[in-house]
Structure 1
Amino acid sequence: MSVLAAIGVLALLIVVHELGHFAAARLQNIHVNRFSIGFGPVLLKYQGPQTEYAIRVFPLGGFVGFPDDDPDSDIPPDDPDLLRNRPILDRTIVISAGVIANLIFAYFLLTAQLATIGLSDFNYQPGVAIAEVVTEPVTAAQKAGIEAGDIVLSINSQKLAASEKSLPEFMEKIQQSPDRPITLEIKRGEEILSLQVTPELGADGQGKIGVILSPNGELSHDRQNPITALSMGANEFQRLSVLTFQGFSHLILNFSETANQVAGPVKIVEIGASLARSDAGSLFQFGALISINLAIINILPLPALDGGQLAFLLIEGLRGKPLPDRIQDNIMQTGFVLLLGLGVFLIVRDTANLEVIQKLFQQ
């Protein structure tokens, strides 16, 4: 169910984006002949009075189609309600409406979360939790008698405070102490134990004891009244937007180091499913973050994206006339093929890296 919830969130964001284009066109009485979620062959479709609505095979996005270049359209080429015959401002509104819709939707997702569930907040408690002890091969933690569910209160008499810094401090101490005994004060149920563990020297030259750690504490939700939610939603929207811009800047400026961190639909669904399992309320914030990312990606001046089409409109405004259709078509088709290829590559890579697939290969 968590996977379906994550897929549902991703699909909803695509629908919102395309609805932005669709609504902006129809509100200006511009002809629209197709509304599609996905690309490739049609799976399901419905023919409305003016528009064909379809779901297609490859769920890598969607599109709103216009009859401007449809040879089967019975609309005269000089019809003033064809998109290409509208002023630059009208076309700019239609093209940018998808990005605007995603940004508005992200804000309302955050506001809805604040008003109904509240933003997730982690209440830290002293220590670091042992989520799991690795048993194959035998590890230092297993030899020392450490068990899943233990809470490490101190390491070599150094207390681990109720703070987000405790976990990295504990990890750093372990990594810096290969082959050197360490004394841990552990809380197990109502008991307080003192255990000695000797981190093993790893291949990277750092110490390791063979455990999976997690912060000690619990999630809480602070629900707000609707008026406060509107204000706090704006603050949270601003925070997530700034973080997303910083992330894209870091990716572009350090592409050789960060390229492997680019995620496709499979990885996004995996992250969303993990959030849904741990805290369903986090899907609101997950959806808002992905919606902001979708908006920023689409506004980039790349072929086949909204930003690429806006770049053509900018050139048209500066030249006083559009680029020849042949040049625009070649650029857009090349961009579409490259983006589709990137999407397929990310899907294959992220699918191969899924835990369930890795286990199959190991058997």
Structure 2
Amino acid sequence: MSVLIAIGVLALLIVVHELGHFAAARWQSIHVNRFSIGFGPALAKYQGKETEYALRAIPLGGYVGFPDDDPDSQIPNNDPDLLRNRPVFDRAIVISAGVIANLIFAYFLLVTQVATVGFPQINYQEGVIIPEVFTAENSVAKQAGIQAGDIVLAINDQPLGASQNAIIDFRDIIQSSPAQPLKLTIKRPTETIDLIVTPELGSDGQGKIGVRLAPNGEETRLKADNFGQAFSLGAGEFQRLILLTVQGFGQLVSNFKDSVQQVAGPVKIVEYGAAIARNDAGNLFQFAALISINLAVINILPLPALDGGQLVFLLIEALVGKPLPTKLQDNIMQTGLVLLLGLGVFLIVRDTANLAVFQDLFQ
């Protein structure tokens, strides 16, 4: 059931994006002949008065089609309501409307969450929890006597403090101190002790001790007292998620080698969403908002087959006074679409192979 919920969330966000394009076109009386969720063969379709609505087999997005280049269209080429015959600004509205729809939808998802179930928050306490010590025989942490459930209060008498930065500070010190003995001040239920641990040099040149880290604190819920506060808190969280998304893309560009494995396709997104649905369905609002913002940012990138790529064509047209040759635009967009679909298929195969159920089959 949780998997179906996650799939439904992802499908809804795609529908919202395409509805943005569709609504912007129809609002301007621009002809639309296709509204499709997915690519490839149609699983189900309905022919409206002018528009064909379809659900297709490959779940890698969707598209809104226009009759401009449809050889079977009965609409005259000089019809002012064809997309290509509209001014650049009108076309820019249609192309950018999907991104705008995703952003608006994300904001209202966050407002809804904080007005109903609230945002999860952590009341931080001093230190960092070690919920797991890796059991490898050469685990540095195991050899030093570190145990699951230990709370690290300080490193070399430097307190980690009570904040979300405690984990970052702890990790930075460990990674920057390979082969250097470190004194950890550890709190246990009945005592506080000091242990000496010497991080080993990892293959990436950084120190590691073989533990998993978690923040030390209790989760609470921040819930708005009224609608005004809900919109305000929603705006703050919306801004935070946008900043995180932009920073994530920036890290992907600047540190591609180390970040590329974190790129998630539809399967991984559904896996994350299903886990959230199982553990705390209230956080699905925040999850959906984050994915919606990611869809917006991805689509606005100036790459072929994406909305940003089409906006680049419009910008060139506005600057030089005429559009690029249609054949050139088509070739660029088709190449981009093939690459995009190829990337999507690769991510689906990779993420599916990494699912626990498949890992168990081959062990």
Q: Separation in 2 of the partners of 1:113 and 1:283?
A: 9
Task: Say which SS state the counterpart of residue 293 (structure 1) adopts.
Answer: helix
- Residues 133-164 of structure 1, C-alpha deviations (whole Å, 9 max, x = no match): 44465856667876544545567877654333
Correspondence for 1:246: 247
Q: Which residue type is aligned with residue 68 of structure 2? A: D
How far does residue 127 in structure 1 lie from its aligned partner after superposition?
3.9
Counterpart secondary structure, 1:40: strand
Structure 2 match to 1:226: 227
| Aligned CA distance change for structure 1 residues 122 and 75 (closer, same or farther; 3 Å) | same
SS in 1 for 2:126: strand
Q: Deviations over 1:181-200 (max 9, x none)?
A: 96764434xx4475867668
CA distance in 2, matches of 1:70, 1:105: 32
Task: Give 5+ residue unaligned stretches, structure 1.
Answer: none
Shift of 1:278: 4.6
Correspondence list, 1:1-363, <5 A: 1-135=1-135, 137=137, 148-152=148-152, 161-168=161-168, 170=170, 176=177, 185-188=186-189, 191-192=190-191, 201=200, 204=203, 210-224=210-224, 225-255=226-256, 258-361=259-362, 363=363
Question: In structure 2, what is the Cα distance between the partners aligned to 1:315 and 1:202?
Answer: 51
Q: Residues 60 and 344 of structure 2 are in contact (CA less than 8 Å); yes or no, is this contact kept in structure 1?
A: yes
Is the 8 Å Cα contact of residues 133 and 141 (structure 2) preserved in structure 1?
yes
Is contact 1:21–1:98 with CA below 8 Å preserved after alignment?
A: yes
Q: Deviation digits for residues 194-243 of structure 1, max 9, x if unmatched?
A: 58676684655877665433222221111112111212322332333233
Q: Which amino acid aligns with 1:339?
A: L
CA gap 1:180/1:328 in 2 versus in 1, 3 angstroms = closer
Structure 2: 5+ residue stretches without partners: none
Query: Does structure 1 conserve the Cα–Cα contact (< 8 Å) formed by 2:34 and 2:51?
Result: yes
Alpha-carbon offset, residue 23 of structure 1: 0.7
- Native 8 Å contact 1:183 1:196 kept in 2: yes
1:255-292 deviations in Å (ceiling 9; x for gaps)? 45544443322333333344444543333222222222
Distance 2:254 2:181 in 1: 40
Change (3 A) 1:156 1:62: same
Distance 1:317 1:209 in 2: 57
Distance 1:247 1:200 in 2: 28
Contact 1:14 1:61 in 2 (8 A): yes
Q: Distance in 1 between matches of 2:299 and 2:238?
A: 18
- Counterpart CA distance in 1 for 2:257 and 2:144 is 41
SS in 2 for 1:308: helix
| Residue aligned with 1:281, SS | helix
Structure 2: how far apart are the matches of 1:60 and 1:219? 35
| Residue identity opposite 2:271 in structure 1 | E
- Give per-residue Cα distances to partners, 1:75-106, cap 9 Å, x unaligned: 33333322223232222211111111111112
Whether the aligned pair in 1 keeps the contact of 2:276 and 2:283 (CA below 8 Å) is yes
**What residue identity is the alignment partner of 1:18?**
E
TM-score normalized with structure 2 length: 0.83
Give, as a single letter, the amino acid of the residue that structure 2 aligns with 1:242.
Answer: L
SS in 2 for 1:30: coil
CA offsets 1:308-362 (integer angstroms, 9 cap, x no match)? 222222233334333332222112111111111122222223333344434443x
- CA distance in 2 between partners of 1:84 and 1:180 (Å): 68
Contact 1:129/1:152, CA 8 A, preserved across alignment: yes
Query: What amino acid sits opposite 2:18 in the alignment?
Result: E
Q: Which amino acid aligns with 1:23?
A: A
Partner of 2:241, secondary structure, is: helix
Whether contact under 8 Å (1:120, 1:281) holds in the other structure is: no
* TM-align CA RMSD: 3.3
The answer to whether the Cα contact below 8 Å between 1:144 and 1:195 also exists between their aligned partners in 2 is no
Q: Kindly tell me: are residues 352 and 163 of structure 1, through their superposed partners in 2, closer, same or farther at Cα, counting changes over 3 Å?
A: same
| Residue correspondences, number | 360
Contact 2:305–2:333 (Cα < 8 Å) also in 1? yes
Counterpart contact for 2:20–2:97, Cα < 8 Å:
yes
